Amino acid sequence: MPLYYTQDHEWIDVEGDTGTVGITDYAQSQLGDITFVELPDAGSSVKKGDAPCVVDSVKAASDAYAPVSGTVTEANAALEGEPELVNTDPEQGGWLFRLTLADAGELDGLMDRAAYDEYVAGL
């Protein structure tokens, strides 16, 4: 499945009814060096637009928003020891959390890569 993107610079990679969520390369470049990531607990419910994560960097703390509603199934434990993975590999190894989608129809409001790249170019 393709990645979907939000205007808040999150991405979600969907396989079946599971979505893996992270922040985009653009977002990590704006934040600077990531120093800590506060991750959501497995089993917690999130609604589209909620902020289940906080990404701390040398510049600022920034919320990471849920692109869709669902139940968190896993947080990326690797980030506890290596938060810099969000900088070095934001759209693969630096993912934040996985969730079971509550409503796959919520993906319809998100952007594909081309639309996201165009959006970022206009910022």
The mean predicted confidence, pLDDT, of the chain is 96
Q: Place 2 in a pLDDT band, splitting at 50, 70 and 90.
A: confident
66-84 mean pLDDT = 98
pLDDT of residue 45: 98
pLDDT of residue 86: 98
- Ordered structural domains, the chain, with CATH: 3-121 (2.40.50.100)
Given a cut of 70, whether residue 1 has pLDDT beyond it is no
pLDDT tens string 91-100: 999 999 999 9
Nearest Cα to Cα of residue 4 among 121, 123, 80, 101: 101
Partner residues linked to 20 by β-bridges: 13, 98
Half-sphere exposure of 56 (CA within 13 A, CB side): 8
Angle among Cα 66, 15, 34 to the nearest 5 degrees reads: 45
pLDDT of residue 59: 92
Nearest Cα to Cα of residue 4 among 104, 94, 121: 104
- How far is residue 33's CA from residue 3's CA, in Å, rounded to a whole number? 24
42-51 mean pLDDT = 98
- How far is residue 48's CA from residue 116's CA, in Å, rounded to a whole number? 18
Instruction: Tally Cβ neighbours within 10 Å of residue 36.
Output: 12
pLDDT tens string 5-37: 999 999 999 999 999 999 999 999 999 999 999
Q: Is 21 exposed, middle or buried (0-12, 13-18, 19+ CB in 10 A)?
A: buried
